[in-house]
Amino acid sequence: MSELSVNHLLGIKYITKEDIELIFETADQFKEVINRPIKKVPSLRDITIANLFFENSTRTRLSFELAEKRLSADVINFSASSSSVKKGETLVDTVNNILSMKVDIVVMRHPNPGAGIFLSKHVDASIVNAGDGAHEHPTQALLDCYSIRERLGSVAGKNVIIVGDILHSRVALSNIYALQTLGANVKVCGPKSLIPKYIHKLGVGVETNLRAALQWCDVANMLRVQNERMDISYFPSTREYTQQYGVTKSLLDSLDKEVIIMHPGPINRGVEITSDVADSKQAIILNQVENGVAIRMAVIYLLASKIKRDDSN
Amino acid sequence: MSQKVLLNSTEVNITLHRLACQLLENHTSFHNTVLIGMQPRGIFLARRLATMLEDVYKVNNLHLGHLDITFYRDDFRRSDKPLAANQTEINFIVEDKRVVLIDDVLFTGRSIRAALTALQSYGRPESVELLTLIDRRFSRHLPIQPDYRGRQVDAINNEKVKVCWLENDGEDAVYLINN
């Protein structure tokens, strides 16, 4: 089996364990490629990719763009703030206009959950979801699991805690799907107000005490508090949040084991983790960023290989 | 389907010794030479030759690498089968080295073309030579010829040459398979 079961990467929910393993095996090869003196392969010379970002992003957009360029694809970038979206154009119209310029793959971030799924039904291109509202962020979950696999050898059987703002997090949902598919045990930890009501339906445990959570886990994935998505107050103050759910070096040192610390970025230093934790050996935050490029190369490569060539014209 | 033995295990062994000696003639101490086996099937031949050079011909500090060319192939999205990548392992600098590319069968020459491009990602070698166990002449699509060849074979297009290795297939032999 060396082909994805899907033509789009819309979410982890829609792909299989075999797909994830294939993406990881392909990413292994790309990781070697991006550590060569010349970090570029010519595989996607005849593929054009549009990066459509209807929501702000630095890391993800750069990572996708770099991945695409390392595969020799042609890349066009589009951000909503400087586009016709402001003038009232619909999503399908915007994308169809871009596709009429012969684009094969669309990488899209959008504030509305399900935007990628909607688009995949209406336009003729492979869609990669780069984050849709509070729904999914599949490539982030893939690179998180890939980083765990790289550090601990495998994901199966590991205990992973996701700490912080679960309610507004697309990273959390995608991570839960991916980790469970790969056989990890997942719990979430955070203030009750930031944990979705029906989280147990996903088979995820809830822990409200951070120390107990860290004691249980092998890996802690620290999420950012997404102030921009909060229309009401979910906790009394940032200081109180930090006191209860912020990870400090002294807290980690007081445990009788070494917990791996991950963070999807951007970090609010001093809020969810302190600086000395972010910069410690236990943190694999920068490995996650490096792996992000390899994972995105693998996803795009595998999706591109499913696009049929049209030699008729 | 019928198959014919082109080389049996004794003949494979004799040919390997000859190829090793030809390499020795041109590279003597191998101090500036690297052997690179091509994934997936060329690595067996490369490993055999490297072991033979070290054990029988007492060459020291031999550099051996594996090169995967999947991402450099020119049939991406053209073939029906998806292209699965293999491991590349080149733990040395190729810059200014004399490279010997090693593959089991030379057919159209397209893999070698891809390998030459892939090799550039690791630096600028002083020279590149090609060693193949089987050379299927008259079937080239590109102007590529081996510098060291084990056996030349005239095979028509729907025939297939299969190279078996003891460590992988249970025997050393080369077959011509007719479908």
Complete DSSP assignment for A158-201: -EEEEES--TT-HHHHHHHHHHHHTT-EEEEES-GGGS-TTGGG
Contact B122, A36 (CB under 8 A): yes
Contact B108, B142 (CB under 8 A): yes
In the block, residue with structure tokens 């590319």: B101
Share of chain B above pLDDT 70, in %: 98
Beta bridge partners of B178: B2, B159
pLDDT bucket at B1, cuts 50 / 70 / 90: confident
For chain A, positions 41-70, list CB contacts with chain B under 8 A: 41-44, 46
Alpha-carbon torsion (A35, A41, A43, A47), positive or negative: positive
Condensed to tens digits (0 to 9), the pLDDT of residues A7-51 reads 999 999 999 999 999 999 999 999 999 988 889 899 998 899 999
In terms of average pLDDT, the best of A81-90, A145-154, A231-240, B160-169 is A145-154
CB-based contact B85 A26, cutoff 8 Å: yes
Q: How buried is residue B98: exposed, middle or buried, by Cβ count under 10 Å (0-12/13-18/19+)?
A: middle
Contact B103, B45 (CB under 8 A): yes
Long-range pairs for B162-167: beta carbons < 8 A, 24 or more residues apart:
B162/B3, B163/B41, B163/B44, B163/B45, B163/B104, B163/B105, B163/B133, B163/B134, B165/B44, B165/B45, B165/B48, B166/B9, B167/B44
How many angstroms separate the CA of residue A303 from the nearest CA in chain B?
11
Tell me, yes or no, whether B167 lies in a domain. no
pLDDT for residue B90: 86
pLDDT for residue A83: 62
CB-based contact B71 A3, cutoff 8 Å: no
pLDDT for residue A313: 45
Q: Assign a CATH topology to domain A12-133+291-304.
A: Rossmann fold (3.40.50)
Tell me, yes or no, whether B177 lies in a domain. no
> For chain B, how many structural domains are there in total?
1
Residue A254 has pLDDT above 80, yes or no: yes
In terms of average pLDDT, the best of A175-184, A221-230, A299-308, B72-81 is A175-184
> CA–CA separation, A73 vs A65, rounded Å?
10
CB-based contact B72 A41, cutoff 8 Å: yes
Which chain A residue lies closest to B86 (C-alpha atoms)? Answer: A29
* CA-based nearest residue to B131, from B39, B22, B33: B22
A-chain residues near B123 (CB < 8 A):
37
CB-based contact A29 B121, cutoff 8 Å: no
> What Å distances lie between residue A132 and A29, A75, A195, B143, CA to CA?
28, 21, 19, 51
pLDDT for residue A177: 96
> CA–CA separation, B138 vs A201, rounded Å?
65
CB-based contact B121 A301, cutoff 8 Å: no
CB-based contact B71 A29, cutoff 8 Å: yes
Tokens of B90: 């080149």
A-chain residues near B118 (CB < 8 A):
41
A-chain residues near B91 (CB < 8 A):
none
Higher pLDDT, B178 or B143: B143
Strands A159-163 and B173-178: unpaired
Where in chain A are all domains bearing CATH 3.40.50.1370? 12-133+291-304, 138-289
pLDDT for residue A7: 94
pLDDT for residue B175: 93
Interface residue A93 vs chain B (CB under 8 A): no
Give me the CATH code for the A138-289 domain, please.
3.40.50.1370
DSSP string computed for A273-297: B-HHHHTSTTB-HHHHHHHHHHHHH
CB-based contact B87 A3, cutoff 8 Å: no
Which range of residues forms the domain containing residue B139?
A: 8-157
CATH of residue B55's domain is 3.40.50.2020
Helix (H, G, I), strand (E, B) or coil at B17: helix
pLDDT bucket at B93, cuts 50 / 70 / 90: confident
Interface residue A29 vs chain B (CB under 8 A): yes
CB-based contact B72 A33, cutoff 8 Å: no
For chain A, positions 136-165, list CB contacts with chain B under 8 A: none
How many angstroms separate the CA of residue B13 from the nearest CA in chain A?
33
End-to-end CA distance of chain B: 5
Share of chain A above pLDDT 90, in %: 72
In terms of average pLDDT, the best of A52-56, A173-177, A308-312 is A173-177
> CA–CA separation, A27 vs A291, rounded Å?
8
Condensed to tens digits (0 to 9), the pLDDT of residues B30-46 reads 899 999 999 889 999 99
Q: How many beta carbons lie within 10 A of that of residue A36, not counting itself?
A: 15
Q: How buried is residue A16: exposed, middle or buried, by Cβ count under 10 Å (0-12/13-18/19+)?
A: middle
Which chain B residue lies closest to A34 (C-alpha atoms)? Answer: B121
CB-based contact A36 B120, cutoff 8 Å: no
Residue of B36, B67, B70, B77 to mutate for A, most A C-beta atoms under 10 A: B77
What does pLDDT average to over chain A?
Answer: 91
Contact A228, A188 (CB under 8 A): no
According to DSSP, residue B57 is labeled: S
Buried b (16+ CB within 10 A) or exposed e, B116-153: bbbbebbbebeebbbbbbbbbeebbeeebebebbbeeb
Interface residue A25 vs chain B (CB under 8 A): yes
How many angstroms separate the CA of residue A301 from the nearest CA in chain B?
9
Work out the average pLDDT over A67-93: 83
Residue A256 has pLDDT above 60, yes or no: yes
pLDDT bucket at A91, cuts 50 / 70 / 90: confident
> CA–CA separation, A71 vs A63, rounded Å?
12
Which chain B residue lies closest to A307 (C-alpha atoms)? Answer: B77
